[in-house]
Chains A and B, each alone.
Chain A
Amino acid sequence: MPEAPPDDPPALYVEHVDVTYGRAVSALRDVSLTVPHGRVVALLGANGAGKSTLLRAVSGTLRLHRGAITAGRVRYGGTVLDGRDPVAAVRAGVVQVPEGRRVFAGLTVDENLRSGGLGLGRRGPAQTAEARDRVFTLFPRLAERSRQAAGLLSGGEQQMLAIGRALMAAPRLLLLDEPSLGLAPLMVDRIAEVVREIHAQGTAVLLVEQNAGMALSLADHAHVLETGEVRLSGPASDLAGTDAVRRLYLGEEGAA
């Protein structure tokens, strides 16, 4: 674990950020949010609200989508992340798990995990083994299947691999993009458990979800994005009680 100055526990600051795709499509407008050190913050919103765009703005992958931050700042502690490449985020300790898992299907489970450490520069085999052991403790399933091609894992196992791969970089802030997407309820519970575990080990989490029930049960704080703007913010327990959130995102389960 890289050491942070004790008087400055790094927090993620997204400050008045505008994002535009292809110089024309505005996807985020004046978005601000903070993820304090060691906390879980949920980001809710319907399809197309701009949740993934916000994560891309933090992880430095907007360029791959012809997008750019056109105003505002993104920084993690003292490290400015806007305008930097994804390596900068990984090195600063901010690692994103992409939407839809995106494991390297043709690589083995073990190779997928090793690829998670590529951003940190050369590491000794001992360090890699240690990081891998931590992942295997969290996901024993992956240990059993370490020599198998990742593309042959079930959807839930792939999600675990995607999270495990990101953990190989020993992040201090994990960005999770809809980890419950397309998973059966039992598996969603398992993912929630994992997020709790990761949080308990001291890693902050920015959790993007459409499953508001799950996200609000995990988060300290939550924000709701609507067509590129922050519509609501507050403590997760407060938001869970808000009429708008219950109606829009919790569906019948929340209204009952």
Chain B
Amino acid sequence: MTGLLDDLLGGLALGAVYALVALGFVVIFKASGVLSFAHGSLLLFGGYLIAVLHDDLGFAGALAVAVLATALLAGALDRLLLQRGDPGPGAAHVQTIVTIGVDIVLLTELSRRIGGDLLPLGDPWGDAVTGLGPVTVADSRLAAIVVSAVSIASVFALFRYTRWGLSLRAAGEDVEAAALMGVRLSRVRTLAWCLAGGLAALAAVFLAAFPAPGLERTTGQIALKAFPAAVLGGMASPVGALAGSLLIGLTEALVAGHQSELSLLGEGFADVAPYAVMVLVLLVRPTGLFGTRGAARV
């Protein structure tokens, strides 16, 4: 029983962190129609900055700088590289491919710097645990849940209550109609990239924190799991990304917790589980969990 509760809490923490990354995918997709394959290396960039800065600036200072710097890097990537190209229809596909190139460059450089090391990020939680009734939970996991929840709630508030949020949602529905209302598309989308970059840097903290051993050059591959979370949520739906992330986090934790009973499916099934869930969901609902919102009459 406590095993199950453990798995559920672990899955919740994992899902919360995936949600930070998946929300970034969704925000970028809504604003620019681009699937950002550079997201994993942006996340790694943020984590690397915290790793090298926390001795001098303290954890909080390093985190603040990393979130800001990753946001700026993502925004610059959009403004200076992606938006330079031809803006016509089909541009998003070209830009998606450009992000693959950016990912390779960024990842190569960061891997060279990190090498085979495990970098501590100097987070305040360490390996401390807290007892919650029958279960003990790593503080880092509680922090992941709380920080993600607060961040995600803030992002949803931005969507709902700010001019930027309204602009983003309008442009996500109909780019040309939004342009006709005087929405500055390029500014809206650059801000979306910045937000996604900042969220990725934040996610890096919890991916490198206990029980993970630290930041590795492969930490960015986490984006590969948040991606199916975004897809199964409907790709353009922030609520869907949240639901998809929790679903995938829980699945992964439960599968990992029952690995021995599921040995039929092979040793590394926990890694494949996100994709298996995605395929199952898409078989039943091809548009994703929340992909049909805004049923339009023509």
- A119 at interface (Cβ–Cβ under 8 A)? yes
- The answer on a CB contact under 8 Å between A59 and B296 is no
- The answer on a CB contact under 8 Å between A106 and B294 is yes
Given A104-B173, A104-B174: A118 and B163 interface contact (C-beta under 8 Å):
yes
- Which chain B residues lie closer than 8 Å to A169 at the CB level? 181-182
Q: CA A66 – CA B85 in complex, angstroms?
A: 12
Q: CA A116 – CA B167 in complex, angstroms?
A: 10
- Which chain A residues lie closer than 8 Å to B86 at the CB level? 66
- B77 at interface (Cβ–Cβ under 8 A)? no
- Which chain B residues lie closer than 8 Å to A160 at the CB level? none
A22 vs chain B, min Cβ distance (A): 8
- B169 at interface (Cβ–Cβ under 8 A)? yes
- B88 at interface (Cβ–Cβ under 8 A)? yes
- Which chain A residues lie closer than 8 Å to B84 at the CB level? none
- Which chain A residues lie closer than 8 Å to B169 at the CB level? 104, 106-107, 111
A170 vs chain B, min Cβ distance (A): 12
- B177 at interface (Cβ–Cβ under 8 A)? yes
Given A115-B166, A115-B178, A165-B181: A106 and B173 interface contact (C-beta under 8 Å):
yes
- Which chain B residues lie closer than 8 Å to A117 at the CB level? 181
- Which chain B residues lie closer than 8 Å to A104 at the CB level? 169-170, 173-174, 177-178
Given A102-B174, A151-B294, A152-B295: A115 and B183 interface contact (C-beta under 8 Å):
yes
Q: CA A23 – CA B191 in complex, angstroms?
A: 31
- The answer on a CB contact under 8 Å between A98 and B176 is yes
* Number of chain B interface residues as a range: 20 to 34
Q: CA A102 – CA B163 in complex, angstroms?
A: 20
- A105 at interface (Cβ–Cβ under 8 A)? yes
Given A90-B181, A169-B181: A122 and B163 interface contact (C-beta under 8 Å):
yes
Q: CA A148 – CA B87 in complex, angstroms?
A: 33
Residue of B nearest to A119 (CB): B182
Q: CA A96 – CA B182 in complex, angstroms?
A: 10
Given A114-B166, A118-B167, A158-B297: A107 and B173 interface contact (C-beta under 8 Å):
yes
- B115 at interface (Cβ–Cβ under 8 A)? no
- Which chain A residues lie closer than 8 Å to B296 at the CB level? 105, 151
Given A64-B176, A102-B176: A153 and B297 interface contact (C-beta under 8 Å):
yes
B243 vs chain A, min Cβ distance (A): 17
- A91 at interface (Cβ–Cβ under 8 A)? yes
- B264 at interface (Cβ–Cβ under 8 A)? no
Q: CA A60 – CA B89 in complex, angstroms?
A: 16
Contact with A along B157-178 (1 / 0, CB 8 A): 0000001001101100111111
- Which chain A residues lie closer than 8 Å to B176 at the CB level? 61, 64, 98, 102
Residue of B nearest to A91 (CB): B182
Q: CA A114 – CA B173 in complex, angstroms?
A: 15
Residues of chain A from 115 to 164 with CB closer than 8 A to chain B in the complex? 115-120, 122, 149, 151-155, 158
Q: CA A103 – CA B180 in complex, angstroms?
A: 11
Residue of B nearest to A103 (CB): B177
- Which chain B residues lie closer than 8 Å to A196 at the CB level? none
A166 vs chain B, min Cβ distance (A): 8
B226 vs chain A, min Cβ distance (A): 23
Q: Which of B176, B293, B295 is packed against the most chain A CB atoms within 10 Å? A: B176
- The answer on a CB contact under 8 Å between B179 and A64 is yes
A181 vs chain B, min Cβ distance (A): 12
- Which chain B residues lie closer than 8 Å to A166 at the CB level? 180-181
A43 vs chain B, min Cβ distance (A): 17
Residue of A nearest to B297 (CB): A151
- The answer on a CB contact under 8 Å between A152 and B182 is no
- Which chain B residues lie closer than 8 Å to A105 at the CB level? 173, 294-297
- The answer on a CB contact under 8 Å between B181 and A115 is yes
- B285 at interface (Cβ–Cβ under 8 A)? no
- B258 at interface (Cβ–Cβ under 8 A)? no
- A86 at interface (Cβ–Cβ under 8 A)? yes
- Which chain A residues lie closer than 8 Å to B113 at the CB level? none
- B93 at interface (Cβ–Cβ under 8 A)? no
- The answer on a CB contact under 8 Å between A118 and B180 is no
Q: CA A86 – CA B180 in complex, angstroms?
A: 6
- The answer on a CB contact under 8 Å between B170 and A115 is yes
Our pick among B87, B163, B170, B295 for the contact of A107 (Cβ within 8 Å) is B170
Q: CA A62 – CA B287 in complex, angstroms?
A: 31
Q: Add 11 more A-B contacts to A64-B175, A104-B173 (CB < 8 A).
A: A65-B88, A66-B89, A90-B181, A98-B176, A114-B166, A116-B181, A117-B181, A118-B163, A118-B183, A151-B295, A152-B295
Q: Which 3 residue pairs are nearest across A and B when measured between Cβ atoms?
A: A119-B182, A106-B294, A90-B182
29 A-B pairs whose Cβ atoms sit less than 8 Å apart in the complex: A65-B88, A66-B86, A85-B184, A86-B180, A87-B182, A87-B184, A95-B181, A95-B182, A98-B176, A104-B170, A104-B177, A104-B178, A105-B296, A106-B169, A107-B169, A115-B167, A115-B178, A118-B166, A118-B167, A118-B170, A118-B178, A119-B181, A120-B182, A149-B295, A151-B295, A152-B295, A155-B297, A166-B181, A169-B182
Interface of B with A (CB < 8 Å)? 86-89, 163, 166-167, 169-170, 173-184, 293-297
